[in-house]
Structure 1
């Protein structure tokens, strides 16, 4: 791939352009807002000048509702040898393209499974996709199937962005992202919405749990309206199943409100119902891929009190390195109203005692 055209210079489009430009591809940028394309160009993502002729690959990075129309226009103008989109919904745009009579052999629907809570070109980064799954949804068969050249261009794009290609059926993809991406966004927003009018004393008690659950609730509502409008059925199916669990859990909790002797059987059923949903949650969480996409491993956490001063993170990582311990994961829980917090170092179980001793020896305060 020598040349590319990125249509849509938001977070994903600009990140694709930055990755390609950084690896020697001449990238042309286009956006319905010329100022946004100029911003992306100023960041080093390419040029906002129109290409002299057809480019090797056109990447359509617009909201799902606009994918088909944008692709159809690009194909009509003959802007590229191959075309793909990076929208988070795949089945609908393909059917719309077919209804418009477009040549589907020159098109491949894709979806990089990466993003941030922030949007726009200023949030873009060339390494956004590194190590992340990038779904490809080619159409098989000789008649109307995805052209091999287009598939190869898509695979080259994924490689240049240092992502991991995953081939799926378009509708299977939409059901999958409804479960692992779209529904979590709504649930996060629903929990965060409970905080809007909560008493200030309750909000001050927010800890790491509520921060984890509501992190993605900071996402752009307009962007998510576009996404959810393009995949309403599969998301509604998942939410209906969640709603059934919620109904059962509410009934179980209500049964625990009474301590009357005659309610003993109901209380036992309530406890069993709550335990059931929690255990099923454990089982589901255990299926989430761990480090490098492998099966989840059993790790231990070494919690260390850390001050909010420059250099503290570098110092604790250096001390862990001197102890010969590899940090598998890290998270920080900030203390409300204090210039300190807990840093949780996730390590292999056999490494935890040695790391604990080494950090204590170097003056760190370990918390159990």
Structure 2
């Protein structure tokens, strides 16, 4: 993709990379030398600037601090076995970002600004992409309101940023999941489908209570009956029942995950039937009791594919032997092979950073 926008680049005087270990990286705590910034004012986007990573200055009257008008995305860049850098499915994240923007009454980002700004930033900080299995460069585009006044209304000015963070595996082992039946993540007509900060803020109490009980995450259920499973705190969810992969249908209250879409394609290519439909917790319990619940796993950009070794609903433990699984491990193997350039990218998911 040729650059069609003017991006100003201000390089850091001293890189942090020589003093940074890319081994055993915690998620979201190490950031590269540069970030991209673009302001929106007077009804249009201004010139994008790539500059040294650093603080953002704002007044205490910043609209986002009071009313939460903010959205974000999560994307990853990888190195192939030959060392070439690629970004995984950035156009899908671009489209979802603008869906979130429209729902939150924010200006949409032009494609060339989002994609080329990201590509150029990754190119500037290319040496930060770890060259290890299960490691990547996490890309975080985000936008927030910047009006300096208190009042419940859409802002007239915004800032768009992209940050880069080298990272290792999000979850290092299979997860224990608590099926949430008290709190609600999202309801029809709400913002469950948007990647907005408020969705995640409202999930923190349920997550903390689940952790206090010894679980790694929660599996959300519907807002009305607390019986139909939806998604986990950081991932979409899949269940292999018999020879069918089932994942909850979206219907406006579940995030349309890019990894979710990828996994559906790879499962179908493995010959599995995939159903996107309402899934009642009683159906999962019945399958577990009958021995037909073969696998359960989460999917997401940060976590990729995370096995679930236990589901707990009202004290009923559904234990799964992840060592015997064959379906999701094969999906992960193929996904890794595509990202690492060891298998043909027939779906054109990999976007080159160079040229």
Q: TM-score range by the shorter chain?
A: under 0.3
Structure (1 or 2) with the greater helix fraction: 1
TM-score by length of 2: 0.23
Larger radius of gyration: 1
Structure (1 or 2) with the greater strand fraction: 2
